[in-house]
Amino acid sequence: MFAQQVLNGLISGAVYALFALGFNLIFGVQKVLNLAHGAIFMTGAFVSYYAVVAGLPLWLAMLVAMAVCAVLSVLLDRFGFQLLRKYSVADAEFGALVISIGVGQVLTSVAQKASETKVLSFPFGTFPVEFYRGMGLRISLLQVTIAALVAVLVVCLAYFLKKTSFGRQVRAVAINPRASALLGINGGSVFMLTFGVAGALAAMAGVLIALSFNSIQFLMGEPYMLKAFVVVVLGGLGNLGGAVLASLLLGVAQAMSAAYLPPGLSDILIYATLFVVLIFKPNGLFGGAVAPAGVGRQ
Amino acid sequence: MMEFFLANQSVFDFFLLTLGFSYSQQIVLRSGVFSLASAAFAALGSYGCAYLVMRSGMPVALGIVFGALIGAAAGYLTSVPLARLRGVYQAIATLALVEVTVAVALYAEPITGGAVGFNGIPKSIGTWQLLLAIFGVGYVLYAMSHSRIGRGFDALRQDEYVAASLGVSSRSQHTLAFIASGLIGGLFGALQSMYSYSIEPHQFGFGFMVSTLAAIVLGGRRTLMGPVVGSAIVILLPEIARPLAEYRQIVVGAVLVIVVIYAPQGLADTFIAWLSHRKTDASAKTAAHEITGGSNGHA
pLDDT tens digits along A47-102? 999 888 888 888 899 999 999 999 999 999 888 888 887 887 777 888 888 899 88
The more confidently predicted of residues B275 and A285 is B275
- Residue spans of alpha helices (H) in A116-239: 141-163, 165-175, 177-182, 187-213, 221-235
Can you tell me the distance from the alpha carbon of A61 to that of B36, in angstroms, rounded to the nearest whole number? 38
A74, A199 Cβ separation under 8 angstroms: yes
DSSP A185: -
B156, closest residue in chain A (CA to CA): A297
User: Long-range contact list for A124-133, CB < 8 A, 24+ apart?
Assistant: A126/A52, A126/A58, A126/A211, A127/A58, A127/A211
| Mean pLDDT of all residues belonging to chain A | 83
B260, closest residue in chain A (CA to CA): A95
- Which residues 33-92 of A are in CB contact (within 8 Å) with B? 33, 80, 83-84, 87-92
Interface check for B111 against chain A (CB to CB < 8 A): the answer is no
User: What's the mean pLDDT in B227-256?
Assistant: 81
User: What is the distance in angstroms between the CA of the first residue and the CA of the last residue of chain B?
Assistant: 47
Chain B environment of A294 (Cβ under 8 Å)? 84-86
pLDDT tens digits along A153-202? 889 888 888 888 888 888 888 888 888 888 888 888 888 888 999 999 99
pTM attached to this predicted model: 0.85
Can you tell me the distance from the alpha carbon of B21 to that of B184, in angstroms, rounded to the nearest whole number? 7
User: What is the identity of the amino acid at B291?
Assistant: I
**In what helix (H) or strand (E) does residue A140 lie, and over which residues does it extend?**
strand A137-140
% pLDDT > 70, chain B: 91
User: What's the mean pLDDT in B163-190?
Assistant: 91
B257, B253, B265: which is closest to B219 by C-alpha?
B265
Can you tell me the distance from the alpha carbon of B299 to that of B282, in angstroms, rounded to the nearest whole number? 14
Residue A229: is its pLDDT beyond 50?
A: yes
pLDDT bin (cut points 50, 70, 90) of residue B296 is very low
Helix (H, G, I), strand (E, B) or coil at B92: helix
B164, closest residue in chain A (CA to CA): A296
Give residues with Cβ within 8 angstroms of A260, minimum separation 6: none
B229, B268 Cβ separation under 8 angstroms: yes
A57, B222 Cβ separation under 8 angstroms: no
Asked if the ipTM is above 0.85, the reply is no
Interaxial angle between packed helices A221-235 and B88-107, expressed in degrees from 0 to 180 and rounded to the nearest 10: 120
- Which residues 68-97 of B are in CB contact (within 8 Å) with A? 81-82, 84-89, 91-93, 95-97
A20, A227 Cβ separation under 8 angstroms: yes
- Specify the pLDDT at position A297: 41
Which of A24, A88, A98 is the best residue to mutate to test the B interface, defined by the most B CB atoms within 10 Å of its own CB?
Answer: A98
Give residues with Cβ within 8 angstroms of A30, minimum separation 6: A77, A81, A191, A194
B197, B6 Cβ separation under 8 angstroms: no
Interface check for A116 against chain B (CB to CB < 8 A): the answer is no
Q: Which domains, ranges and CATH numbers included, belong to chain B?
A: 10-268 (1.10.3470)
A7, A9, A5, A2: which is closest to A249 by C-alpha?
A9
The more confidently predicted of residues B44 and A297 is B44
How far is CA A16 from its chain centroid? 6
How far is CA B47 from its chain centroid? 19
% pLDDT > 70, chain A: 96
Can you tell me the distance from the alpha carbon of B169 to that of B155, in angstroms, rounded to the nearest whole number? 11
pLDDT bin (cut points 50, 70, 90) of residue B288 is low
